[in-house]
Amino acid sequence: MSASKPPAAEPHRSASEEPAPQRAAPDGSDPQTYEAAAARIDEIIRRLDSGEASLNETLELVGEGKTLIEFCARELSAVGDALQELRLDELVSRLEEETSA
């Protein structure tokens, strides 16, 4: 008869410890959403502001943050371009209505 092992217990965390934040994909790909990237940037800023990050971790976080900021900038630019296109379409429609009336 074999005794089954109990599942390994999770290490106890103090109330001040937060779970490890999710990082960008290991392949360097962008996060799936602007919101996810912005949330990760906030986590990175909190970690850097804590003063607890080692030099190597700081360098990694700064690099990751730069990538995420660039991703967010591209997303915001795309939204701005789409809004501008909508405004132009609306203007064209109004002009067409005025000339046909």
Cα gap 78→65, rounded to integer Å? 20
Q: What is the mean pLDDT of residues 77-88?
A: 91
Torsion of CA 36, 75, 49, 61, to 10 degrees: 80
* Residue the block writes with tokens 């996810």: 36
pLDDT per position as a tens digit, 5-15? 444 444 433 33
What is the structure's pLDDT at 31? 66
pLDDT per position as a tens digit, 35-82? 999 999 999 999 999 999 999 999 999 999 999 999 999 999 999 999
What is the structure's pLDDT at 72? 96
